[in-house]
């Protein structure tokens, strides 16, 4: 199925969770924060949050700023 | 250099020995940024929150050069133009970092980046209601500064001059008024261009100075970071010492009696 991650279309397996998505993208879950359909996804629930077709995910991290 | 007989800067229960807070934008790379931070002696840094680069997740990361366990990360809302944008960003920042101390800035026109004070007030209220500790970037208007304090902001951060302009403190009268009326820390945020600007802010009685471009865009950012460290200490010490009165005429420093 297809979801949108940071504005890009991403193919994921049926039954994928946030944990498997983060792994698929090669990211370190400790160093990012995730929003699913405008709701914060708590780190402790990544493994339980099942993704659905059309989900809009934002994955962010800290960068330099003033 | 030690600061004698001075209390640490206290922001939302956190004690800071250094009264200098620095930004982490505009450096050549995160390594230079880390060295400037070391030289500045700052314990708190502002950071922004942005999308991870999905096409190249191995890009250098801020947290690989600057350890969040060693420094206090202060997430900002740079680039936010509405209260909702700011709240959304800081909810994510709280999840990314696990702490609730944040810097709120709701900007208006990109030409001057002045804070939109109506939106800033609205966003500050939303954030405080959600349990955030809000250090707020604001105009140098004492009336809004007071309102933000009454809302519960934990630090008032008026601009000295437009963000990134390096023009120095443009309205010392207002900054001083804000200092006099505030019972939470007042930190000049934005506008500092060189060391004397930071010293002037501290001599006015500000509790701290926040800067980014003045260090990052100096020819030698490491050296400027060190200069800022000393300027903030010097300005603070001068403020605590109490300056001599200004006089209209000369007053010789050597005794007039006993002249040959």
Mutate to test the interface with A, among B51, B58, B160 (most CBs of A within 10 A): B51
What is the C-alpha to C-alpha distance for residues A61 and B97, in angstroms, rounded to an integer? Answer: 9
B56 reaches A (C-beta below 8 A): no
CB B77 within 8 A of CB B104: yes
B47, A32: Cβ pair inside 8 Å? Answer: no
What is the C-alpha to C-alpha distance for residues B100 and A14, in angstroms, rounded to an integer? Answer: 35
B166 reaches A (C-beta below 8 A): no
Judged on CB neighbours under 10 Å (0-12, 13-18, 19+), A57 is buried
Q: Which of A6, A61, A64 sits opposite B30 (nearest CB)?
A: A64
What is the C-alpha to C-alpha distance for residues B153 and B185, in angstroms, rounded to an integer? Answer: 10
Band (pLDDT 50/70/90 cuts) for residue A34 is: very high
Please give the DSSP secondary-structure letter assigned to residue A17: B
Is residue B229 annotated as part of the catalytic site, yes or no? Answer: no
Check residues B157 and B98 and name the one with the higher pLDDT. B157
Question: What pLDDT, on a 0 to 100 scale, did the predictor assign at position B128?
Answer: 97
Q: pLDDT tens digits for B2-15?
A: 546 789 999 999 99
Q: pLDDT tens digits for B82-131?
A: 989 999 999 999 999 888 999 999 999 999 999 999 999 999 999 999 99
User: Would you tell me which residues 33-62 of chain A have a C-beta closer than 8 angstroms to some C-beta of chain B?
Assistant: 33-35, 38, 40-43, 58-62
Question: What pLDDT, on a 0 to 100 scale, did the predictor assign at position B56?
Answer: 86
B76 reaches A (C-beta below 8 A): yes
Strand ranges for chain B from DSSP E: 9-11, 14-16, 20-22, 44-51, 72-75, 101-104, 133-138, 155-158, 187-189, 208-211
Mean pLDDT of B63-79: 94
Question: What pLDDT, on a 0 to 100 scale, did the predictor assign at position B1?
Answer: 46
Question: What pLDDT, on a 0 to 100 scale, did the predictor assign at position B225?
Answer: 98
Tokens 């050549």 — which residue?
A: B28
Q: Say which residues have a Cβ less than 8 Å from residue B145's Cβ, sequence separation at least 6.
A: B138, B156, B158, B178, B181, B182, B186
Residue B182 pLDDT exceeds 50? yes
A65 reaches B (C-beta below 8 A): yes
Count of other CB atoms within 10 angstroms of residue B259:
6
Distance between start and end Cα atoms, chain B:
42
Question: What pLDDT, on a 0 to 100 scale, did the predictor assign at position B105?
Answer: 96
Question: What pLDDT, on a 0 to 100 scale, did the predictor assign at position B58?
Answer: 81
Supply A28's token pair: 């370190």
Band (pLDDT 50/70/90 cuts) for residue B184 is: very high
Residue A66 pLDDT exceeds 50? yes
Residue B138 pLDDT exceeds 60? yes
Band (pLDDT 50/70/90 cuts) for residue B257 is: very high
Q: What is chain B's mean pLDDT, rounded? A: 95
pTM of the model: 0.92
What is the C-alpha to C-alpha distance for residues B132 and B102, in angstroms, rounded to an integer? Answer: 7
Question: Out of B17, B103, B111, B247, which one is annotated catalytic?
Answer: B103
Question: What pLDDT, on a 0 to 100 scale, did the predictor assign at position B4?
Answer: 61
Q: pLDDT tens digits for B17-60?
A: 999 999 999 999 999 999 999 999 999 999 999 999 998 878 89
Backbone angles phi, psi at B177, to 5 degrees: -60, -40
**Chain B, nearest residue to A28 by Cα:** B57
Please give the DSSP secondary-structure letter assigned to residue A30: G
Q: What is chain A's mean pLDDT, rounded? A: 95
């Amino acid at each position: 199925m297809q979801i949108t991650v940071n504005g890009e279309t991403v193919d994921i397996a049926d039954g994928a969770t946030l944990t498997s998505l983060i792994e698929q993208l090669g990211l370190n879950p400790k160093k990012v924060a995730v929003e699913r359909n405008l709701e914060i996804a708590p780190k402790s629930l990544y493994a339980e949050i099942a993704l659905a077709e059309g989900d809009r995910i934002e994955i962010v991290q800290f960068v330099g700023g003033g | 250099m030690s600061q004698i007989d001075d209390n640490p800067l206290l922001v939302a229960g956190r004690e800071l020995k250094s009264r200098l807070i620095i930004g982490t934008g505009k450096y050549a790379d995160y390594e230079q940024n880390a060295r400037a931070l070391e030289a500045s002696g700052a314990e708190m840094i502002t950071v922004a929150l942005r999308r991870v680069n999905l096409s190249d997740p191995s890009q250098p990361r801020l947290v690989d050069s600057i350890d969040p366990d060693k420094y206090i990360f202060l997430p900002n809302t740079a680039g936010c133009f509405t209260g909702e944008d700011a709240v959304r960003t800081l909810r994510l920042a709280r999840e990314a970092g696990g702490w609730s101390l944040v810097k709120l800035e709701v900007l208006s026109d990109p030409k001057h980046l002045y804070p939109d004070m109506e939106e800033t007030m609205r966003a500050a209220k939303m954030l405080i209601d959600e349990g955030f500790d809000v250090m707020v970037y604001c105009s140098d208007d004492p009336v809004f500064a007071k309102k933000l304090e009454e809302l519960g902001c934990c630090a008032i951060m008026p601009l000295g001059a437009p963000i990134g302009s390096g023009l120095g403190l443009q309205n010392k009268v207002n900054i001083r008024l804000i200092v006099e009326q505030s019972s939470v820390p007042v930190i000049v945020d934005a506008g500092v261009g060189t060391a004397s600007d930071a010293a002037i802010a501290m001599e006015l009685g500000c509790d701290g100075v926040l800067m980014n471009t003045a260090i990052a865009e100096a020819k030698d950012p490491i050296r400027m970071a060190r200069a800022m460290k000393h300027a903030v200490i010097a300005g603070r010490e001068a403020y605590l010492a109490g300056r001599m009165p200004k006089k209209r005429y000369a007053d010789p420093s050597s005794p007039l009696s006993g002249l040959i």
